[in-house]
Structure 1
């Protein structure tokens, strides 16, 4: 199985450094361009399907990839971002000094890590003979890298919008 995890293109909230969580945010012009460039980079390879997180920005990126690469796409309830609840829309930098946010965030990251493990297993069981593109979120990809590389990654090590990583199983 070959999997390519793609981080959705940029939104205005990404550019502003705001937490998006489950908020419905659309790609900005740069995000549309990033998704098109990503499709161009991946187009030379054989792919069977594109899956995306159900969140709007990931679905929009997946649509661009699918349209440009002529590969079927589906939104799946897999590999979705944390829901930051009260903190959605807040500036990330200002939250780093908020003790209550940090406690909540650490607990949620632990849950996300377990969720990602389950979802990787489900992905493999469903698509083990396929080449799959999964459009998701930076924090999810960070957890995937952490699981596979077996080291803790910092928030600064989240891949940029429109970028991707490969996994071969």
Structure 2
């Protein structure tokens, strides 16, 4: 028995465009972000998705709502799908925080290192994994669109792909989608692939 997840990042936001770290703060979708959400809705019109579960942050909620104008599915929120907490780095330009001596360990890899007063990549990945298991157990054998955030997806997928601690991990594109299946018997995830733009 398996539950299939489409894991999607929200559309482009103002702070994405300005190269600022959002974390658990928020900024509005840009015109490009609104268009990305509409285009993603069209790409998701064919798979037999049963429901949408979104992060409660407004940028993810807005993207999910735009997609649901096309899909018309049950839509709910799950608090654990919220983005990684970047602590003191939230709202800062990436160019500024990238000079921090531990920036690579914190932001480009999944480690036990955290931004000042923030969340580690390992803790973020575990939080997301536990949320997906909880969702899978509530809706077994369904196909679920999860609308969430770039860094939490990067951290989770790196651990599923068993990336080493030294691997520099790519950023997750706005409205990018990966698919993963949760095997209820094995209590494990496998990567199914990506949905191309």
Q: Which residue in 2 is equivalent to 1:104? A: 114
Q: Which residue in 1 is equivalent to 2:171? A: 158
Work out whether 1:144 is the aligned partner of 2:146. Answer: no
In 2, Cα distance between equivalents of 1:159 and 1:98: 22
Work out whether 1:134 is the aligned partner of 2:146. Answer: yes
| Deviations 1:132-164, CA, capped at 9 Å, x for gaps | 000000111112211221114535x12210110
Q: How does 1:25-64 map onto structure 2 within 5 Å?
A: 25-64=27-66
| Ranges in structure 2 where 5+ consecutive residues have no aligned partner | 107-112, 183-197
Helix, strand or coil at the partner of 2:81: coil
Task: Give 1 or 2: higher helix fraction.
Answer: 1
Match of 2:131 among 119, 130, 133: 119
In 1, Cα distance between equivalents of 2:52 and 2:72: 10
| Ranges in structure 1 where 5+ consecutive residues have no aligned partner | none
Q: Which residue in 2 is equivalent to 1:80? A: 82
Q: 1:53·1:75 contact (CA, 8 Å) conserved in 2?
A: yes
Q: 2:20·2:93 contact (CA, 8 Å) conserved in 1?
A: yes
In 2, Cα distance between equivalents of 1:117 and 1:77: 13
C-alpha deviation, 1:107, in angstroms: 5.8
Q: 1:20·1:88 contact (CA, 8 Å) conserved in 2?
A: yes
Number of positions where the alignment pairs a residue of Structure 1 with one of Structure 2? 168
Q: Tell me: higher relative CO, structure 1 or 2? Use CA pairs within 8 A at least 6 residues apart.
A: 1
Q: 1:141·1:158 contact (CA, 8 Å) conserved in 2?
A: no
What is the TM-score with the length of structure 2 in the denominator? 0.78
C-alpha deviation, 1:86, in angstroms: 2.6
In 2, Cα distance between equivalents of 1:117 and 1:69: 25
Q: Over aligned residues, Cα RMSD in angstroms?
A: 1.9
Q: Which residue in 1 is equivalent to 2:180? A: 167
What is the TM-score with the length of structure 1 in the denominator? 0.90
